[in-house]
Amino acid sequence: METLAVIDFETTGMSPGHGARATEIAAVLVRGGAIVGRYQSLMNAGAYVPPFIEELTGISNAMIRKAPPAEQVMREVAEFVGVHPLAAHNAAFDRKFWDDELARIGLSRRQEFACSLLLARRIYPDAPNHKLGTLVEYARVPVAGRFHRALADAEMTASLLLRMEEELMRRFRLEAVSHELLRVIQAASRRELEACVERWRGVGG
């Protein structure tokens, strides 16, 4: 049975290419339609947390100073995730930080990301918007805690992915939805969801 690792970063800014660093990471393991494992830690990368980010996340400079070193946390979470396929909400963002923080300890990513944002745009085109908080309400996913904290966001992203997998199974009469199928769907045009799944079914996916 496939296990999926859903991750979420809190950071000091938008891009590691401009000096932003991670302040917190969470990873949850999803298997058999349920969350079966959780990892969460603040991390001290020596970076300054701007006031806007402190307000947004509730993660302060004082909290970061007392947190374990980023190197230690990244080694732990990389070990926790292993080679399981990855997922995140707006994965382009988390992928940048995952790759950057791993590179700093001499590691590299071993798997691809599924993106719950791209999937939601295809599966829930009529949602008011595709922010995580809006989708949690729209898809009736349980609120797991404070938004913009890593573990709560990772758990809600995982639950949203499970809800979308259920929707795909119902709509297309599939017995299961693999990470590979999610990758195929998110890579296809928004307007071609039906044709994309039928092609997948046709080649025995």
Partner DNA sequence: TGCCAGGCCCTCTTTAGGGCCTT
Site residues for DNA per CB under 7 A:
8-15, 17-20, 23, 48, 50, 52-53, 56-57, 89-90, 92-93, 117-118, 121-122, 129-133, 148, 153, 186, 189-191
Least separation, in Å, of the C-beta of 197 and DNA?
A: 15
Nearer of residues 82 and 137 to DNA, judged by Cβ: 137
Nearer of residues 157 and 173 to DNA, judged by Cβ: 157
Least separation, in Å, of the C-beta of 153 and DNA?
A: 5
* Strand 34-42 relative to strand 113-115, pairing: unpaired
CB 72 within 8 A of CB 56: no
Nearer of residues 92 and 176 to DNA, judged by Cβ: 92
Distances (CA, A) of 74 to 20, 90, 95, 105: 16, 20, 14, 8
Q: Is 12 exposed, middle or buried (0-12, 13-18, 19+ CB in 10 A)?
A: buried
Whole-angstrom distance, CA of residue 148 vs CA of residue 59: 9
Nearer of residues 33 and 55 to DNA, judged by Cβ: 55
Least separation, in Å, of the C-beta of 8 and DNA?
A: 6
Whole-angstrom distance, CA of residue 91 vs CA of residue 199: 25
Least separation, in Å, of the C-beta of 69 and DNA?
A: 18
